Chains A and B, each alone.
Chain A
Amino acid sequence: MANFQPLNKNKHQALKVKLDPSYSHSAQSHIVPISVFELPQIQAEYPIVFIKDAETGRFHLVALLGLRPQENLFHKKDDWNALYIPQHLSNYPFLLSASPQQPDNFVVGIDLDSDTVSETNGEALFSDNGEQTKYLAQVTENLVRANSQLDATQNFIQTMVEKGLLASQSLTIKPANNEEFNVTGLYSIDEAAFNELNDSDYQALKGKGFITAIYSCLFSTQRIAKLVHLTES
């Protein structure tokens, strides 16, 4: 279980974070949330889908890491099977959360239970005189950027739903050397519906800068073959 605590330079001055090229905290995750701004990079390596949150029924935009629950086909012993790492993974063990005292302010949190966090190994967060290191400054900048993209991602999802551009997708996967199985609960951009948009709806999407994102989603479905291939090897 994760144990995120607000980062505090007095309490946490000695902490170090080891870079983990295998992102092992995600070893049991078959999906990772992504931002609408990441889609061009994501689509080159991961299938992009929309899934519903089991608690709320609302959509999330995610990259598929595996085809079955708890299956991560990208995670390897000391490596990761792709060049681009989704922000949500690369930002770990940090996250940005609302300050308990001032909900309008954000604070950097750190998962103290992460294997990458110690006082012995890795990148220091604070210098000996308590200043934040370049590393921590970069981490903070990344978190703030990711956070600033959340609204745009929500807006993208909502627009796709409202314009009727999402369709439920059911996949039947037949690995060469194994039994076939079904993947359900996925939603993807409906190419036919997208092509049938009237001019004013299309212009509205263009105005919001969503065209690249939509094509990224469409192209990314080709990456499902890559995942099937990974399940075979």
Chain B
Amino acid sequence: MNNGIINQVVIVGGGTAGWLTAAKLAKHLGSNKSESVQVTLVESPDISTIGVGEGTWPTMRKTLADLDIEEHDFINYCNASFKQATKFVNWKTPAINGQDSVYYHLFNSIVNADEFNLSPYWSMSDKQIDYADFVSPQALVCDNGFAPKTILNRGYDGLLNYAYHLDAGKFADFLKKISCERFGVKHISANVVSTNLNILGEISSIETKELGQIKGDFFIDCTGTRCLLLGKALGIEFTPINDILFTDNAIAMQVPYLDENEAISSSTISTAHAAGWTWDIGLSNRRGTGYVYCSDFVSHDQAEQTLRDYIGPRAEQLSTRRIKIASGYRKKFWEKNCVAIGMSAAFVEPLEASAIFLIEASANMLCELFPRNKKQLPAVEKTFNDSFNYRWKRTIDFIKLHYFLSQRKDAFWLENKSINSVPDSLIEQLEHWKHRPVSRYDFQNTFEPFIQDSYQYVLHGMGYAQELESNASTFNQHSMVDSILMKNEKFKQHLQKNLPTNRELLTKVKAFGFQKI
């Protein structure tokens, strides 16, 4: 031990969590200089990555830009496409006479709710247009399959806020190349067989089958649900949340496009079914789809059939892959000289694409608070655990909200409404929101995973009833509202005239790339 100075960081596990953390940390620490902290990533050559979630949040644009990555290089390598929303189909009610119930959770509002909240004005309007159309031009853009920008915009700039759909396997490869070539990450291909602790109970080294012992001062557990370091070696227990979120299996299928002109969706399409929901994510070269379900309510065969029915005739020749999922989180994410990032830390069903976002958030916090001296560990451990304990709980609340507000009558959905499955924190908030609009004061934490706008898209999209009439005189800024609505309509027209489709823009990005300026 070198006076408690942390010089060697060892990340165990590749995948999106491992490589994204490696890239961010090595860039931040300046690891390509030999006198800086060194980052080594040990990856098993035998274990394939699970590729959780192929959707990101808009934060990914800053993440990539901060890593000095050109947007078009990322898009082309990872078969990425532009994501502007999650489109929820048949969540509020099942299809009625073949008519789907649809609402959008958008990334862009014409005015941020914490600056001026249009929500009560929509609630008290005749609701002739959907909430999303009332407060944003982006639902229309998604309906038309438009991109959020044109080839004239520079990398990472958009006319509208956007995120990505991406091939997680390719993304990990892409980050691996950049981490090693640019940021000085050392890549070791070996299988970890055990972990050694020192007298303080800290991890001192890992044993690998191929290369023996690898020492380190600080360890990052990106081993997925196996949780080799934090769970197995340090004994931090897993808290399941299957009493709140019931889904326990997913069946996935990759669906090719019919031809090179088939539209690429601008939103993740999440469709509710009898015992769960399907995701449908349009990459530039294929769709990634899957059914997340609870096996208490449907057999695996029935689930597969549901997915095949959803895809339609083109599913006939296609194979599926089943993945067991276990929602929950570790009692601590950081213990002594080890932090878990990614599925080793927690997992919730990918309904709101929170997985990659929470990896970014964890890596950001680790970078900024990185303890160069072991004396700092206890303080950072507490700050990190408090923060992510909060963020995961809020994420779980937000996912549960989607189920709880549904009017579906299938057994699975009714069970989801049973009051003892709903966190008290969520019940409490919903109680408030019966009588007043959602407020920025409901989101006081700087690192709220889901913001006020997100809640409002879901609450109004699901038809949550609010009683605001008795307080109508409070909502009297009608000229302000009118001018915002007019701006929104003008913006809609401008976008309809100027935006290419997702597919058209991706074709151009492949051919020409974006300019730096």
Task: Tell me which residues across on chain A come within 8 A of B152, comparing CB atoms.
Answer: 52, 54, 57, 185
Cα distance, A168 to B153, chains bound together (Å): 11
From A94-102, A103-111, A159-167, the one touching the partner chain is A159-167
**Interface status of A74 (Cβ within 8 A of chain B):** no
* Chain A residues with CB under 8 A of B441: none
Chain B residues 136 to 161 lying within 8 A of chain A, measured CB to CB, are: 150-153
> Do residues B512 and A57 form an inter-chain contact, with CB atoms below 8 A?
yes
28 A-B interface contacts by CB (under 8 A): A52-B151, A52-B515, A54-B152, A55-B151, A56-B151, A56-B508, A56-B511, A56-B512, A57-B150, A57-B152, A57-B153, A57-B508, A57-B512, A57-B513, A57-B514, A57-B515, A58-B512, A58-B515, A59-B515, A161-B515, A161-B516, A161-B517, A162-B516, A164-B516, A166-B517, A167-B517, A168-B517, A185-B152
With A57-B150, A58-B515 given, can you name 7 additional A-B contacts, CB distance below 8 Å?
A: A52-B515, A55-B151, A56-B151, A57-B508, A161-B515, A167-B517, A187-B517
B residues in contact with A168, CB < 8 Å:
517
The answer to whether A57 and B516 touch across the interface, beta carbons within 8 angstroms, is no
B511 — which chain A residues lie within 8 A by C-beta? 56
A58 nearest CB neighbor, chain B only:
B512
- For A57, the closest partner residue in chain B by CB is B151
CA A185 – CA B498 in complex, angstroms?
14
Contacts of B516 in A (CB 8 A): 161-162, 164
When distances are taken between beta carbons in the complex, the residues of chain B under 8 Å from A166 are 517
Closest to B517 in A: A166
Tell me the complex Cα distance, A182–B511, Å.
31
User: Which residue of chain B has its CB nearest to the CB of A168?
Assistant: B517
| Interface residues in chain B, defined as those with a beta carbon under 8 Å from any beta carbon in chain A | 150-153, 508, 511-517
Q: Which 6 A-B pairs have the closest CB atoms?
A: A57-B151, A56-B512, A52-B152, A166-B517, A57-B152, A57-B512
Q: A54 — which chain B residues lie within 8 A by C-beta?
A: 151-152
Closest B residue, CB atoms, query A185: B152
CB neighbours (8 Å) of B151 from chain A are 52, 54-57
A161: chain B residues at CB < 8 Å are 515-517
Residue with the highest number of chain A CB atoms closer than 10 Å, among B152, B508, B512: B152
Cα–Cα, bound, A217→B517 (Å): 17
In the bound assembly, the distance between CA atoms of A161 and B513 in angstroms comes to 13
Q: In the complex, which residues 41-88 of chain A have their Cβ closer than 8 Å to any Cβ of chain B?
A: 52, 54-59
Q: Complex Cα distance A57/B511, Å?
A: 10
In the complex, which residues of chain A have a beta carbon less than 8 angstroms from the beta carbon of B508? 55-57
Which residues of A lie under 8 Å from residue B515 when comparing CB positions? 52, 57-59, 161
Residue of B nearest to A160 (CB): B517
Chain B residues contacting A164 (CB-CB under 8 Å) are: 516-517
By beta carbon, the residue of chain B nearest A54 is B152
Please give me the residue from chain A that is nearest to B150 by CB atom.
Answer: A57
Q: Which residues of A contact B150 (CB under 8 A)?
A: 57
Determine the residue in chain A with the shortest Cβ distance to B511.
A56
Among residues of A, the one whose C-beta sits closest to the C-beta of B153 is A57
Q: How far is the CA of A187 from the CA of B517 in the complex (A)?
A: 9
Assembly CA distance A58 to B151 (angstroms): 9
* Alpha-carbon distance A37/B65, docked complex (angstroms): 35
**Chain A residue at minimum C-beta to C-beta distance from B505:** A57
For A167, the chain B residues whose CB sits under 8 A away are 517
Q: Interface 1/0s, chain A 129-170, versus B by CB < 8 A?
A: 000000000000000000000000000000001101011100
* Assembly CA distance A162 to B513 (angstroms): 14
A59 contact set on B, CB distance < 8 A: 515
Interface centre among A52, A162, A166, A168 (most CB of B within 10 A): A52
Which A residues between 4 and 61 are near B, CB-CB below 8 angstroms?
A: 52, 54-59
Complex Cα spacing A120 to B150, Å: 48
Report the separation of the CA atoms of residues A164 and B513 in the bound assembly, to the nearest whole angstrom: 17
Instruction: Collect the chain B residues with CB atoms within 8 Å of residue A162's CB.
Output: 516
Q: What's the nearest-Cβ distance from chain A to residue B457, in Å?
A: 32
B509 to chain A: closest residue by CB: A57
Complex: A187 Cα to B516 Cα, angstroms = 12
CA gap between A164 and B152 in the complex, in Å: 17
C-alpha spacing A185/B517, complex, angstroms? 11
Q: CB-nearest residue of chain A relative to B516?
A: A161
Given the complex of chains A and B, what is the CA–CA distance between A56 and B151 in angstroms?
Answer: 6
Shortest distance from the beta carbon of B68 to any chain A beta carbon, whole Å: 13
Chain B residues with CB below 8 A from A52, complex form: 151-152, 515
By beta carbon, the residue of chain A nearest B513 is: A57
**Cα distance A167–B517 in the bound complex, in angstroms:** 7
CA gap between A147 and B191 in the complex, in Å: 59
Q: Chain A's nearest CB lies how many Å from the CB of B286?
A: 26
Give every chain A residue within 8 A of B513 (Cβ-Cβ): 57
A72: shortest Cβ distance to chain B, in Å? 23
A155 to B151, CA, bound (A): 21
Chain B residues near A187: list those with CB within 8 A: 517
Chain B residue with Cβ nearest A161:
B516
- Which residue of chain A has its CB nearest to the CB of B515? A57
Q: Which residues of A (171-195) have their CB < 8 Å from a CB of B?
A: 185, 187
What is the CA–CA distance of A185 and B513 in the complex, to the nearest angstrom?
A: 18
Taking CB atoms, residues of chain A closer than 8 Å to B517 are 161, 164, 166-168, 187
Q: How far is the CB of A55 from chain B (nearest CB, A)?
A: 7
What's the Cα separation between A167 and B516 when bound, in Å?
10
Complex: how many Å from CA A56 to CA B514? 9
Q: Taking the nearest CB of chain B, how far is it from the CB of A183, in angstroms?
A: 15
Complex Cα distance A1/B224, Å? Answer: 62
For the complex, give the distance between the alpha carbons of A109 and B514 in Å.
33
State the Cβ distance, B73 to closest chain A Cβ, in Å.
15
Query: Which among B151, B508, B513, B517 has the greatest number of chain A C-beta atoms within 10 A?
Result: B517
User: Whole-angstrom distance from the CB of B124 to the nearest CB of chain A?
Assistant: 38
